Amino acid sequence: MDEKELEKLCKLIRYDILTSTTAAGSGHPTSSLSAVELITALFFGGFYHFDLKKPKSYTNDHFILSKGHASPLLYSLYHAAGAISYKELLTLRKFGSRLEGHPNPRFPYVDVATGSLGHGLSVGVGMALALRLKFQNPNYKSQINIKSQIENSKSFGSWNLGFGALPKVWVLMGDSEMAEGQVWEAMEIAGYYKLDNLIGIIDVNRLGQEAETEEGWDLHDYEKKARAFGWEPIVVHDGHDLEQVLHAFEMVSSQQQILSHESLSHASGGAPFESEKFAFASKPRIIIAKTIKGKGISFLENKEGWHGKALDKKQLKSALKELGQVDLKIRGKIQLPKNFESNTDDKIQKILRRLATGVEGGGLLAARKPEAGPAATREAYGEALVELGEKNPDVVVLDAEVANSTYEDKFQKRFPDRFFEMFIAEENMADAALGLSALGFKPFISTFAAFLTQIFDQIRMSQYSIVDNKAGVKHLGIPTARSGGVLIDRAPVGKDARQAPNHLNINIVGSHAGVSIGADGPSQMGLEDIAMFRTIQSGTIFYPADATSAKSLTKLMATIPGINYLRTTRSKTPVIYDKDEEFEIGGYKIHKVKNQKSKIKNTNKNSKILVIAAGITLHEALKAQQELVKKGVETTVVDLYCIKPLNDKAIKQLINDHPNVIVVEDHYPEGGIGEAILESLANNHPLPNTNFTHLCVRKTPMSGTPEELLHFEEIDSESIIYAVMSIR
C-alpha cells in the first residue's frame, strides 16, 4: 500500500478513535492518536504478517499493545482491516462488548491482557523465546517429530528460519512506562538471548498522565540506553512522517541491515556514534519515535490535561471538521504470514494442537516408598520436572537464579534448550512465562516463596489473559485407598471447583515457604503467598507434605489450565504416601491412627476433634495425633494438600462430624488456610456449631532452627496437643 493510501487510512483511524471514545464517554483518544502513523504503517505497510481468519496460527506475527490504554487505536486498526464493523466499534467500553477499555483475549486478535504498564515487553520476550524454540530448536523439533509429519506438504520452507521468515513479536510501548524497572529487565534479557525476532516501538509523545515524562523528547537518551542493553535502536525524528516511519520498518525487516551514518545520529543533531556502519543481525531492535500526543487535532496536540478524556459532542464536531474529509470505505490489507501455504498451516496447527494437550496418559514414575528416608518436597519437584520433560516437549522452565535451591537445575541438566535463566528479575520472568504459555508452552517458574510478592501484579494481570467461555468443569469421584499405617479417604473434587477453560497453563512454585526455613530469618520466609494466590480467580493452590505428593501434584499442574501454585518446603520431611497414591484438584486426605478406638476414653460426638493442616504442619499434626492417642484423645487429621479449590460440601460434612476444629498452618492468619476454611463454611449456610481454633504465624519471626521457630509461633506438635487438651 502506497503512502497516499496509508494517509487515508490514518485519517480513518483517527476518525474512529475520536468517534468511538466520544460514544463511550471515556477512553484515551490522545494516547491513541500519537501512535496512528506508527502502527498503521506496521499493519498495512507490509511489515506485519497475520492471518485474520486464523488468529491463533503459529505462523502469525504477534502484536502486543503494552500501552493498553490506547485500545481505541487497536480496535480502529482492526476496523480498518475489515475485521470488525463500525457498529461494533461504537460498543467500545460498553458492558458485554469484547472491545474493553484495555484489551484482553476476549478480542480474538489479542494474545494477552495489557493495561498495567511495563508488562508488554516481558510478554514479548516470552513469545520470542517460544517462537525460536518452536521453529529453530532442533532438539525440540526432533522431540515433536513435526518435520517428518509435514514433509509431504507442498511448501513448508526451512525449519531453520532466519529473521526474515521467523514470526516476529512487535511491542508498542508508551514513553511513560519506560520508567518501569521491569521494562529494563526485559531489555536486558532480550539482549542476553539475542532475540532478533523481538521488535520494540517506543511512542515518545512526551506527555504522561499529568505532566511531562522523565525523558521528555530526549530520543538520544533512549537510544543510548537501548544500545547499552544490547538492542539496536532506530530513531525516527518525526513519528508522523510516513516516509520516515516506513523507512524505519524497512530497516527492521532487513535481515542484515547496515545502518547509515545519518540514522545513528541523535535527535538533537549531535555527533553520530563512533561506528558509521553496524550490522545488527541477532539483536533485538527498537524503534524510538518522536510523536505528539493528540496528533491531528490542534486543540489536543501536545496539551496537558487531556489524558484519559474523551471529547464531548461539541468538541468532537470541531475535531472532525479539522480532520477534514475521511474516506469511510477505505480498508487496508494485512499481509499473510510468510513461507507457509494455507494447507500446510492447517497441518501444522493440527499437529501442534495435539501436542499441546498436555502430558500423555500412562504410568507415573515411581516416587519414594513410605519406608524411604525423609526427602524435601522442593527436590521432588525438580525430579518431577525431569519426568514431565521426558513426556512433554512443551514443558519449559524459567529460573530466577535459584535453580540449585529449587532443584530446577535437574531439568536444566537434562533439557538445557528448554531451560531459561532469567536471573534475579522475577517480574520479567513472570510475564515471560505468560508469553510462552500464550503460544502453547507449559512454563514452570520458581523462586523463594517470599519473593513472589514482587510479581503479584504480573500474576494478577495474567489471569485476565484467560478467556472465560463458561465451560463446565468435569468432576471425578476418587476411590478409597490404604497407605502405610494410616487410613486415607480420598475426597472427590467439589462442585464449585474452578478451572480456567482455555489453553493457558502457568505454573508457579514457591520454595522455602514459612518460618520452617529456619535461620535465614524473616526476610526470606514466605508467609503471605497463600493469601496472594487465593485471590487469583483462575488459580489452583497445592501444598504437598511429602515427596510423593509433591511429584504427583507437579505433574498434575501441567494438565490444569490456568495459574497454578505449588508451595514447597525447605526441610526434608518423612515420606508418608505410597508411590501409587493419587492426588486430585479439590482433594484432601484423612488420617486416622489404626486401632485408636480401643484407647479412646471419651467417644462422645461433641468431643471429636478435627485437625486440618498442610505441608510442614501436617507432620506436626500427625506427631500430635500419635501422642494424643496415648492420652486417650481421638483426633482426625486432614491433609489439605489442595487449598484452592476446596471441596466445600466435604469440608462442611467433616466439620459437622467434628464440632472441634483446629487449623494449623505455617502462614500468617490473613488469607491462609484458616480463612479459606471459614469462607467455605460461610458459603454453605447454615454454619455448623463449631469450636474453631486457628494456629498460625502471629508473631514477628526471627532466625532459629525450624523446630525452634515452629514452637515459637505455636504451630508445632506440642502446641497442637495443648490446643486439643484446652478444648477438652
Which of the two residues, 591 and 500, has the higher pLDDT score?
A: 591
389: confidence class by pLDDT, cuts 50, 70, 90: very high
- Look at residue 484 in the predicted model and tell me its pLDDT: 33
Strands, E, within 517-586: which ranges? 539-542, 562-567, 572-573
- Look at residue 344 in the predicted model and tell me its pLDDT: 43
The pTM of this model reads 0.88
For residue 385, give the nearest of 414, 428, 405 by alpha carbon.
414
Which of the two residues, 544 and 154, has the higher pLDDT score?
A: 544
Q: Is the pLDDT of residue 267 over 60?
A: no
Sheet containing strand 486-488, edge to edge, reads 481-483, 486-488, 589-593, 635-639, 609-613, 660-664, 691-695
Angle CA 218–221–227, to nearest 5: 140
**Calpha distance 25→284 (Å, rounded):** 39
Q: How many CB atoms lie within 10 A of CB 56?
A: 16
Joined grid coordinates for residue 550: 509433591
Parallel, antiparallel or unpaired: strands 539-542 and 642-644: antiparallel
- Look at residue 230 in the predicted model and tell me its pLDDT: 97
Name the one residue in this structure whose C-alpha cell is 484495555: 102
Q: Is the pLDDT of residue 266 over 70?
A: no
**Calpha distance 40→666 (Å, rounded):** 54
Q: Which whole number is the average pLDDT over 620-645?
A: 97
For 586-600, letters b (16+ CB in 10 Å) and e give: bbbbbbbbeebeeeb
Q: Is the pLDDT of residue 238 over 50?
A: yes
Q: Is the pLDDT of residue 596 over 70?
A: no
Q: Which whole number is the average pLDDT over 289-305?
A: 98
Angle CA 120–279–131, to nearest 5: 40
46: confidence class by pLDDT, cuts 50, 70, 90: very high
- Cβ burial, residue 363 (10 Å; 0-12/13-18/19+): exposed
Query: Could you tell me the domains of the chain?
Result: 3-323 (3.40.50.970), 375-510+522-573 (3.40.50.970), 589-727 (3.40.50.920)
> Tell me: the pLDDT tens digits for 433-442?
999 999 999 9
Return contacts of 708-714, CB within 8 angstroms, 24+ apart. 709/515, 709/516, 709/518, 710/515, 710/516, 710/616, 710/617, 710/620, 710/666, 712/515, 713/515, 713/666
Q: Is the pLDDT of residue 420 over 80?
A: yes
Q: Is the pLDDT of residue 538 over 90?
A: no
> Tell me: the pLDDT tens digits for 82-99?
999 999 999 999 999 999
Q: At what angle do helices 36-44 and 3-24 cross, to 10 degrees?
A: 120
Strands, E, within 357-492: which ranges? 375-376, 395-399, 419-421, 442-448, 481-483, 486-488
How many alpha carbons fall within 13 Å on the CB side of residue 307? Answer: 16
Contact 690, 655 (CB under 8 A): yes
Q: Which whole number is the average pLDDT over 652-671?
A: 95
Name the one residue in this structure whose C-alpha cell is 524505519: 248
- Look at residue 136 in the predicted model and tell me its pLDDT: 76
> Tell me: the pLDDT tens digits for 210-225?
999 999 999 999 999 9
- Look at residue 704 in the predicted model and tell me its pLDDT: 97
Strands, E, within 433-558: which ranges? 442-448, 481-483, 486-488, 505-511, 539-542
Parallel, antiparallel or unpaired: strands 609-613 and 635-639: parallel
Alpha helices in 648-727 (DSSP H): 648-657, 673-682, 706-712, 717-727
- Look at residue 339 in the predicted model and tell me its pLDDT: 57
Q: Is the pLDDT of residue 233 over 60?
A: yes
600: confidence class by pLDDT, cuts 50, 70, 90: low
Handedness of CA 119, 507, 468, 345 (dihedral sign): positive
Q: Is the pLDDT of residue 367 over 60?
A: no
Q: Report CA Rg, the chain.
A: 29
Contact 508, 454 (CB under 8 A): no
- Look at residue 682 in the predicted model and tell me its pLDDT: 87
Maximum Cα–Cα distance for the chain, whole Å? 93
- Look at residue 594 in the predicted model and tell me its pLDDT: 73
Joined grid coordinates for residue 28: 484515551
Which listed residue (100, 215, 408, 426) is catalytic? 426
Please list, in sequence order, all residues whose beta carbon lies within 8 angstroms of the beta carbon of residue 325, skipping any fewer than 6 positions away.
none
DSSP secondary structure string for all residues of 215-238: STT-HHHHHHHHHHTT-EEEEES-
Can you state the percent helix, strand and coil of the chain, rounding each to 5? 40, 15, 45
What is the percent of the chain with per-residue pLDDT over 70, rounded to a whole number? 81
Task: Tell me the residue type at 149.
Answer: Q
**Calpha distance 295→240 (Å, rounded):** 8
58: confidence class by pLDDT, cuts 50, 70, 90: confident
Q: What is the mean pLDDT of the chain?
A: 86
Name the one residue in this structure whose C-alpha cell is 498452618: 665
- Look at residue 155 in the predicted model and tell me its pLDDT: 30
Q: Which whole number is the average pLDDT over 360-374?
A: 45
> Tell me: the pLDDT tens digits for 676-723?
999 998 887 666 678 999 999 999 999 999 999 999 999 999 999 999
**Calpha distance 663→173 (Å, rounded):** 47
- Look at residue 357 in the predicted model and tell me its pLDDT: 37
- Look at residue 478 in the predicted model and tell me its pLDDT: 31
DSSP state letter for 394: T
**Calpha distance 691→686 (Å, rounded):** 15
Q: Is the pLDDT of residue 125 over 80?
A: yes
138: confidence class by pLDDT, cuts 50, 70, 90: low
Joined grid coordinates for residue 423: 536471573
214 catalytic residue (yes or no): no
Name the one residue in this structure whose C-alpha cell is 461504537: 90
**Calpha distance 189→185 (Å, rounded):** 6
Q: Which whole number is the average pLDDT over 385-412?
A: 97
Q: Is the pLDDT of residue 569 over 70?
A: yes
Joined grid coordinates for residue 246: 516506513
